[in-house]
Structure 1
Amino acid sequence: MCLPLERGRALARRHLTPPAADDYSLHCTLVSMAGRRNAVSEAVHKDLEQQHALLVRQAASAKTTDALAVWWASQAEGCDLAGALWATLTHPRCDEPLELRVLAQVHMLQHQVGAAQRQSARRYLDLAGEHQTLLRAYAEVQQRMTAWTQARAAEQQQWERERIQLRGEVLRLRTELALRREALPAVGAAVAAASTRATERIPPSAASARCASRPRPADDAPVARSAPATPPQVVSCGPRHLAGSNAAQPLAPRPRVVLCVGGRSGSVPHYRQAVEGRGVAFLHHDGGEEHKPAQLEPQLAAADLVICQTGCISHDAYWRVKDHCKRHHKRCVFVETPSRSAFERVWAEITLSEGSGPVE
C-alpha cells in the first residue's frame, strides 16, 4: 500500500540476490522480509520514512492514542492515504486495537478503490467510444464546411472577375463615347467645308441649266414615291477589281464623305486633292502609326466610303475597318499597294462606277 511498485523494483535490484522473477514474487519476498530485521527491511523502512517524512512529523504531534485516531480519521479522506497509513502504523502511540481498526478501514477502502477503478474503466471505454463518434461527426462537418468555403470562395472570385470585366467594359464605352464626342465637331466641320467647296465649284449658270434640262412631270401624272435606298454592300478588292465589274453592275450612290485609312504621309495631300476635287469630303487616318486606333471609330461612322490601304496599317486598324464596314453594310475598298498612283487609280474606278461630276 505504501511502497510503489517501481520503487520496490529498484530496492530489489540493489538488495535482493537473485532478483524476483515477477512482481508477485517480489511482493511476497518484501512482505516476508519486512517481518524481521535485515538489510532489505531496513532499506524499505528508510525509503518509506523519506517518502512520507512530512506526514510522519505531523502525526508526531499526537501525544495519545485517541489523538492519533482523530488525526488518522482526518487524513483518511485525503489524497495521500499511503503516507497517513505509514505515519499512523509507525507511531509509538499506535496500539493493537487502533492498528486493527486502521487496517480494516484500509481494507474496505481497497475494495472501494477496486470497484471505482472498474467503474472508471467502463466509463472510460464509454467516453472513448463517444469521443470517436464525435470525432467522426466533427470530421464530416469540417469536410462540409471546407467544401462550402471553397465553393463560396470560387463564387466570389467569379463575381470579382465579372465585376472587373464589367468595369473595364464601362470604362471602354465611356472612353469611346468621349472620343467620339471630341471628334464629332471636327467631322461636322469637315463635312460642312466639303459641302461649301462643292457648292462653290459649281457655276450658277451650269446649275440652272442642269435643273432646266430635267423633264418636269405632267400635271395629271401621279407622284411616284421614292423607293427606300438599298444598303451598300462591303466591297473587298484590289486596285483593278472595280473597273471590270462596273459594266454589269448598276451605278452606286455617290459618297459625300470618303475615309482613307493608311497611306504614306507625303501622299495624303494628293489623296485629299483627288477626293475633294470631286466635291467629296476627305478624312484620313494613318492606321495606328501616330493616330490612336480609338479615333478611327467616329471617322468610320461619318464616312460613306472607306479606302483601306492594307500594306501600311496595323492589324488592329485593319480589323476595326473590316468589322465596322461589315456590320454597317458600308462600302469598303482594300488597296494592297500603298502608293499615290494606286490610290488615284482606285479613286478613278470608283468615280466611274458612280458617274461623272461632283456631288450635287
Structure 2
Amino acid sequence: MPTLPRPHSLSSPRLLLPVEAAPEEVAVKAGSQRLKTWDIPSTFHCSIVGTCLTTGELRQLLAKAGQEDARSATDHTLHGRGVRTAGQRDFAAKLLNKALDKRHEVSIKRIPLQADEQELRRIWRESFDRGDIAGPYWALMSHPASPPALIRDIFGEVHMLSHLVGSASRLDLARLTRLEKELEQEKDKGERQEKRLAVAADERVALRQRIRQLEERIVQAEATAAPFGQRVRAEEGSPAERADTEAARANALSQRLAEAEERCRALQRDLEQLQDHSHSILRENEALEAAVTAQLQAGGSQASPQPAGPVLYVGGRRNLFDHLRAYAESRNVDLLLHDGGMEDSTTLLPALVGQASTILFPVDHISHSAVGLVKRLCRAQGKPYLPLRSAGLASFLAAITGAGGAYGRL
C-alpha cells in the first residue's frame, strides 16, 4: 500500500469526491502552455484545492484577494470558496493558480512539457508509490499533454485515498493512546529514579561526614600517641619493639582510611551512573511528550526538522519495527531497519551502513557479534553511531527527535 499524504491534506470532508467525472468534463485543453485552474473542468477543482493546498495557504490567499472574513471562516466554508474561485478568471483565481505553481514548483519542473502519456503515467506511479501526491497531482492536472484517461485515473486514485486516510486516522488515535500510557509509565519510572538518587546523595553526604570524623580521630590518636609513646619508651620495652607497635597502629589506621576512601569512590561511581540513567530517562520522557504533542497538533503548519540523511536502526524487537517506521516517517526521517541477524542476514549490514548517515542500536537487545560488526563498519566508513539505552520506543524517539539533544549531536 502506498504511503498516504499528510492527514490534514486528505482527511477533510471537502475531499469526498464524485466517483467518476463525465467524459466531456475530462477533456482538458491541449496546447504548449500549462493550464490554469479555470482551464480545467470544474469537476476536478474540489480535489485540486483540497489536495494541493493547505487550509492555511488557502485562507491567506483569499484574505489577500480581499475576502477579509476568510480569516475567521470555517475550513469547510473556506474550501467551498476556493473551489468556486478556481473556476473563475479574476484576481483571486490568479492568486490561487500562482500559489499552486509556487508550492509545487519542484514537481512541475520535474515533468517535461514534451512528455508523452507513458512517461506521465510512469512519473505519477513512482510519485504515488513513495507517497508524494500533492505536487505531482497538480503538475499532471495542469500539464498540457495529460490525456483524459490519465486525468480520470489519477483523479480516481486521489479520491480513494480519502477513504484510506479515515482508517489511518483511527490507527493514529490508537497509537496516540498507547504513547500516552507509555509516557505515564516513564514519568513514574523517572520519579522512582529521582528518589533513588536522593537516597544515594544522602548516603554520600553521610559517608563524607564519616570520613571527616575518622580523619579527626586519626589526628587525635596521633596527638595522644606522641606523649604516650614517650612515656612507654621511658618505662618499658626496647626502642625496636615500641617502633614496631607504633608502625602497626599506623598501618591499621591507614588501611581503615583507605577502605573508607574506596567506599566513597564506589558510591561516587554509583551516583554518577544513576545520574546518567536519570538524565536518559528524562530525555526519553521529553521525546514522548514531544511525540504526544505532535500527534495532538497533527495538521498544524509547523514543519518537522530535516535530518542529515537516512538513519539505520540495527537490532531491537521486530514487533516494534512498524511503530519505529511510522514515527520516523512523521519526523521526515528515512529509516532503514535490520534486526541484527535474527532473521535478516548480516551480509546486508555493509550496504545498509553505506547508505545511512547515522547508525543506532539498542544495547539491551542486540548480539555482541552484531555490535562489533556495526562498530567496525562505522569506523571503516567514517559513520557516527549511537548506542541506545533500550529497545523501547522511548529511547528511539529521544534519539531522532533531538528532545535531549541526542540526535543533534550525531
TM-score normalised by structure 1 residue count: 0.47
Bigger-Rg structure (1/2): 1
TM-score normalised by structure 2 residue count: 0.42
